[in-house]
């Protein structure tokens, strides 16, 4: 029985916690947070609301887990250095590149970012399936009717049982161009689509060192390693010293830890031409490295790239949940290539748009039915008024009118 329990847990972690859905690119906890905020009308034009209120509502209605994990997810969706296009607009201290945590949820406030409208705007038009929540008192969406290819655009990281995912963020314009090209020509391969998706687009900047062929291979197989390096520029120099500035750092690297690692190199005298390091960042990253006058900047940077997190390897793993044909509520994990991810998104959007148009058509037919009724009523207005005045109430008058109408039809 313990084996059954552990296999159930493993399956739950894979399908209901750690891996994103290929269609909206979200894990269940992220989807529940965004949907709850949408339900509360916390859109981009609304007033910010306390994060504690949002977390409490998500926990009570859809996600019966710890509040700290929920709040961490909400914070991450609001950090411009974590997501390429943040889905939540935060007000207050939401942490920093230096690894500082966000303020407690009772102090911070949030609302949906403008881009999240594109994730949720069609949800009330019966475009996606809903399922009962954990206690059967409400219904939650199985997937959001995302208008943007969020899986590739914002990327994701997750560790499940026996598998993991690590999808880098990409540029929205490039991914949308690739989607349009794939619509025009469904025979395009992942390698050909790399003409439009040039590579990852990290929110913290940095320089991708991989050759175009290496990137094509990563997108063709769904896995590989991206070498990511900080960018730098020469600064002012004096008679005795010269300065260079690090202007961007690799994705997911803690800036204060990075500065400490460089300071260790300075203090241990492993690199004598490097004299000092200072973090002079404001909103933009700016780390000042002070060198001796005759130092070779390229040699200094080459050493730091090798021995500090100024250069990292980002392991790409394009694993996500794809819908099972028999049951849209269940996803099975699979490693996809670039074309498959785009293909799944396009087919999902076709489904959503079809359902939206069907919903609009049903609403129009209902309205037409009412207008046809009005037309018939106006043709016999004097009779109708007479019947209403002579009746015992609403129900009686309605029944009399219906009986009179059916009698005429039969005759």
**Nearest alpha carbon to residue 24 among 374, 322, 353:** 322
Residue partners of 78: CB distance under 8 A and separation at least 6: 86, 87, 88, 89, 90, 94, 110, 113
Q: What is the dihedral of CA 27, 28, 33, 36, to 10 degrees?
A: 140
What is the biggest distance separating any 2 CA atoms in the chain, rounded to whole angstroms?
110
Among residues 107, 134, 245, 303, the one annotated as catalytic is 107
On the CB side of 26, CA atoms within 13 Å amount to 25
* 107 classed as catalytic: yes
3-state secondary structure at position 166: strand
Strand order of the β-sheet with 274-279 is 231-237, 241-248, 287-292, 274-279
Q: Which two tokens stand for residue 20?
A: 């994103």
Burial class (CB in 10 A: 0-12, 13-18, 19+), 348: buried
Q: Which residues pair with 313 in a beta bridge?
A: 227
Positions marked catalytic: 107
């Amino acid at each position: 029985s313990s084996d059954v329990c552990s296999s159930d847990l493993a399956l739950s972690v894979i399908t209901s916690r750690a891996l994103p859905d290929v269609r909206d690119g979200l894990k269940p906890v992220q989807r529940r947070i965004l949907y709850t905020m949408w339900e509360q009308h916390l859109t981009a034009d609304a007033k910010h609301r306390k994060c504690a209120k949002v977390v409490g509502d998500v926990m009570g209605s859809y996600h019966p887990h710890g509040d700290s994990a929920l709040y961490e997810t909400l914070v991450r969706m609001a950090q411009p250095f974590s997501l390429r296009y943040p889905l939540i607009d935060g007000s207050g201290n939401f942490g920093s590149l230096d690894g500082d945590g966000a303020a407690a949820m009772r102090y911070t406030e949030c609302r949906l970012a403008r881009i999240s409208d594109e994730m949720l705007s069609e949800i009330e038009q019966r475009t996606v399936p809903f399922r009962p929540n954990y206690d059967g008192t409400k219904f939650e969406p199985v997937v959001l009717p995302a208008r943007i290819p969020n899986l590739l655009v914002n990327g994701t990281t997750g560790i499940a049982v026996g598998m993991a995912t690590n999808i880098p963020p990409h540029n929205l314009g490039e991914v949308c161009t690739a989607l349009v090209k794939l619509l025009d020509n469904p025979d395009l391969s992942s390698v050909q689509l790399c003409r439009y998706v040039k590579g990852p687009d990290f929110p913290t900047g940095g320089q991708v060192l991989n050759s175009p062929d290496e990137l094509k291979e990563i997108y063709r197989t769904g896995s590989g390693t991206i070498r990511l390096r900080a960018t730098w520029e020469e600064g002012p120099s004096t008679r005795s010293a010269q300065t260079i500035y690090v202007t961007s750092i690799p994705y997911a690297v803690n800036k204060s830890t990075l500065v400490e690692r460089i300071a260790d190199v300075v203090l241990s005298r492993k690199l004598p031409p490097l004299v000092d390091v200072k973090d002079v960042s404001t909103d933009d990253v700016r780390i000042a490295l002070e060198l001796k006058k005759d130092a070779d900047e390229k040699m200094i940077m080459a050493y730091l790239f090798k021995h500090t997190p100024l250069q990292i390897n980002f392991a790409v793993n394009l694993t996500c949940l794809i819908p099972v044909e028999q049951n849209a509520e269940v996803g099975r994990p699979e490693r996809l290539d670039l074309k498959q991810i785009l293909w799944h998104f396009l087919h999902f959007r076709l489904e959503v748009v079809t359902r939206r148009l069907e919903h609009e058509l049903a609403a129009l037919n209902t309205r037409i039915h009412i207008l046809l009724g009005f037309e018939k009523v106006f043709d016999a207005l004097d009779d109708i008024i007479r019947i209403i005045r002579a009746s015992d109430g609403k129900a009686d008058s309605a029944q009399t009118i219906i009986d009179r109408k059916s009698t005429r039809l039969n005759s």
